[in-house]
Amino acid sequence: SEVMKKYLMGIDSGTQSTRAIIFDTEGTMISEASVKHAPLIFGEDGGIYMDEKNVWDSLCEATRKAMAGFKEDKSLLCGIGLSPHNGTVCFMKKDGSHVLHPISYQDYRTAPIDPMPEDCPDWEAWQRTYSRANLLKCTSPKIYESIDKYTSIGGFLGYMLTGQFVDTVSNVIGCMPLDRRNFCWETRDWVYDCVGMRKDQLCDIFMPGSIMGRITKAASTATGIPEGLPLVAGASDKQCEAFGAGAIENKSAFISYGTEASLTFVSNTFYSMTKENFFYSLLSVVPYQWNYTMPMARGYWLVSWFRDNLAKDLVQKVKDEGLGSYGIEDILTRQAIEIEPGSEGLIVIPDWLAGRTRPHGKGVILGFTAKHTRAHMFRALIEGIAMQLRMNGDTLMETIKGLEKYNRIFVGGGGSRSDLSMQITADVFGVEVMRAPYHETGSLGAAMCAGMGVGIFDSCEAAVTRMGGTKRQVFRPIEKNRMYYDKLYNQVFKHCYKTMFPLFEKLDKIQEGRE
């Protein structure tokens, strides 16, 4: 007799939206829904906050829609994996209410507090000034005294779904006193004093792939998820993305071609930041494996920007050809494929949003001649994003002494849909590039964690092989293209920013004088 299929749901609660996707245990997407979050709240105190009610309501709407699209027997849904975004901190009472809106990870305020002594380890010294508890202790002591629980967004959603304060161990890095080497809360008492929190104010934390609790009756009513289903710990959003894409081996890397692009190194070695070099040691889904990430604030957002500002005339063509929601990008890609690597001398520096370390950063399109067209610009943009990520990776290897270079790259995110993007990535990085079977790898990774939690998979490797491994596409570097991009990257691209930085600074000063 035919074996009944089983199904898993992955919930990815990001900064901008919540996605809920149901997969079968072969990794085929069955039903999906995505709900955008309300914009961040910019407070009069200079803080940046999220609306916790909207975060929960978005999850409920997404899961209800995903369940409505799931036409199979509901009893065949075996578990729910939760992948929350990292760095946003909630301030809760024991009854689940909030004493303050969650402070977003995009809020860069620090606590006006005495620093730790010089002999304090660098990570803990940094945590003291960045601690949201210490910030409130110094600026809003009444609120500080009223807090029962500090949670991440994952801990808040864990409470709403199970009625217990539970979270994944992977999602509290940098916000709370976690022992990153041993995947557990700190055992050194002084670290709690350092960050202004007590251990009883923290959630129970679980390794990815572990059952944290079960969906309550109230949560079932709100979400449409059957009551009693296990809620399984995923990892942070980028770590679940890497897992869903298959990046779980030492010396592999993961590129997320999403709104924000990023390059993540997968390593079996633990490294910690120094005063000179700041970076996160993020916990992989795989136990005692770490991810080291270099983000790029504007990644494939740039492709959307290009489409919306420079290709609106293609809207009718998309309708005429019956193309889908990515129709304009698909037309531009068709045209860009015809152009030689290097876009006939056109280079894009994709710095449309300046980072904290480059406050005067600007985007640049360099090398125009009369032969260049919109298609050249589009191709150069994709090449520029790949080269910027390669440069970010080189910077990270300089920052983390001993971090080994990747020998292959796994890719997910909306930008991975394009064969052109994938081939350019292989050629620019000079290694094999693997495309995930489904570009929303965060939800897939969360669903794979759910599969481990409920016993369908007995290891991370088994989950990766079964739900993604057989459907992956491989793109290999074309040697002549690799050699060309190598020359372009080393002789031109790497030097562009340094050369132009003084001009950017002057430009800002002139602009400020006008306002």
Q: Tell me the per-residue pLDDT of 224-244, one tens digit each, with 9 for 90 and over.
A: 999 999 999 999 988 999 999
pLDDT at residue number 361: 83
The mean pLDDT value for 141-167 works out to 97
98: β partners: 92
Closest CA to 479 of 405, 434, 407, 426: 426
Closest CA to 175 of 159, 186, 187, 162: 186
| Alpha helix ranges (H) inside 311-373 | 315-321, 327-337
Q: Would you tell me how many other CB atoms lie within 10 Å of the CB of residue 508?
A: 15
Helix (H, G, I), strand (E, B) or coil at 249: coil
Is 282 in contact with 292 (CB distance < 8 Å)? yes
Residue 14 has, within 13 A of its CA and on its CB side, a CA count of 23
Helix (H, G, I), strand (E, B) or coil at 158: helix
pLDDT at residue number 3: 58
pLDDT tens digit sequence for 45-97: 999 999 999 999 999 999 999 999 999 999 999 999 999 999 999 999 999 99
Phi, psi of 150 (to 5 degrees): -100, 125
Structure tokens at 463: 């989950």
pLDDT tens digit sequence for 401-436: 899 999 999 999 888 989 999 999 999 999 999 998
DSSP state of 170: G
9: β partners: 22, 80
Cα separation, 492 vs 92, in Å, equals 51
pLDDT tier at 1 (50, 70, 90 boundaries)?
A: very low
Q: Based on the number of CB atoms within 10 Å of its own CB, is 200 exposed (0-12), middle (13-18) or buried (19 or more)?
A: exposed
Round the CA-based radius of gyration of the chain to a whole number and report it: 23
Give the helix/strand (H/E) hosting 81: strand 77-84
pLDDT tens digit sequence for 443-458: 999 999 999 999 999 9
pLDDT tier at 277 (50, 70, 90 boundaries)?
A: confident
| 322 has a pLDDT exceeding 80 | yes
Report the percent of the chain where pLDDT is more than 90: 80
pLDDT tens digit sequence for 174-211: 889 999 999 999 999 999 999 999 999 999 999 999 99
What's the pTM? Answer: 0.91
Q: Would you tell me how many other CB atoms lie within 10 Å of the CB of residue 309?
A: 8
Closest CA to 446 of 475, 412, 419: 412
pLDDT tier at 492 (50, 70, 90 boundaries)?
A: very high
pLDDT tens digit sequence for 341-363: 999 999 999 988 766 667 788 89
Q: 205-232 in b/e burial notation, b at 16+ Cβ within 10 A?
A: bbbbbbbbbbbbeebbebbbbeeebbbb
The mean pLDDT value for 310-331 works out to 89
Closest CA to 160 of 242, 211, 217, 238: 217
396: β partners: none
Residue 60 has, within 13 A of its CA and on its CB side, a CA count of 14
Higher pLDDT, 210 or 276: 210
Q: 28-60 in b/e burial notation, b at 16+ Cβ within 10 A?
A: ebbbbbbbebeebeeeeeebbbbbbebbbbbbb
Structure tokens at 407: 């020998």
pLDDT at residue number 286: 95
pLDDT tier at 2 (50, 70, 90 boundaries)?
A: very low
pLDDT at residue number 335: 95
pLDDT at residue number 355: 65
